[in-house]
Structure 1
Amino acid sequence: MDSFQMWTTLITSFLEEREGRVTPTEDIRTAVYLVQLVFLFFFVFLFDLLVVKNGPMFYGVLVADVGLVALLLYFLLRRISGYFNF
């Protein structure tokens, strides 16, 4: 078994163990992740406003910022969606 298969097996078994179980700190951890996403968005947005100041590059960084935050928010929502019954 090479190292990639070993890590894949380890991560898969860890995720299978956690499915269906809610830890007591899950809501706090989710809130912290949401605050981090907001800070990330505003940090990159302020950097974009104060440093870049160039038309096409400004919008490129803005689109990258919104895309990154949207992707991370999607991963967060997908992770916590298992704790809700719908």
Structure 2
Amino acid sequence: MKSATLTLFAVLFGSAPALAETGADRAACTPDVMRLCAAQIPNAGAITLCLREKRVSLSGACRMVVDRSERSAREIANRR
């Protein structure tokens, strides 16, 4: 379990652009990733997609992180 948690942190926060950018983001989404998207660990892209697909099942705090991430991605895409 400890190894999976460490891998999860590396995936969520070691990739760019990271879904979770702060410690508070990590704390908000880690339980949801473990509960809903554990099969996708350590694939950061798959975890992100899983969280977006399961948005209605996310905790409120993690849903805010995912929504913020989606807004940021749209803003970056619109600049191109």
Structure 1 length normalisation: TM-score?
A: 0.30
Structure 2 length normalisation: TM-score?
A: 0.32
Q: Which structure's CA Rg is the greater one? A: 1
Larger RCO, structure (CA 8 Å, separation 6 or more): 1
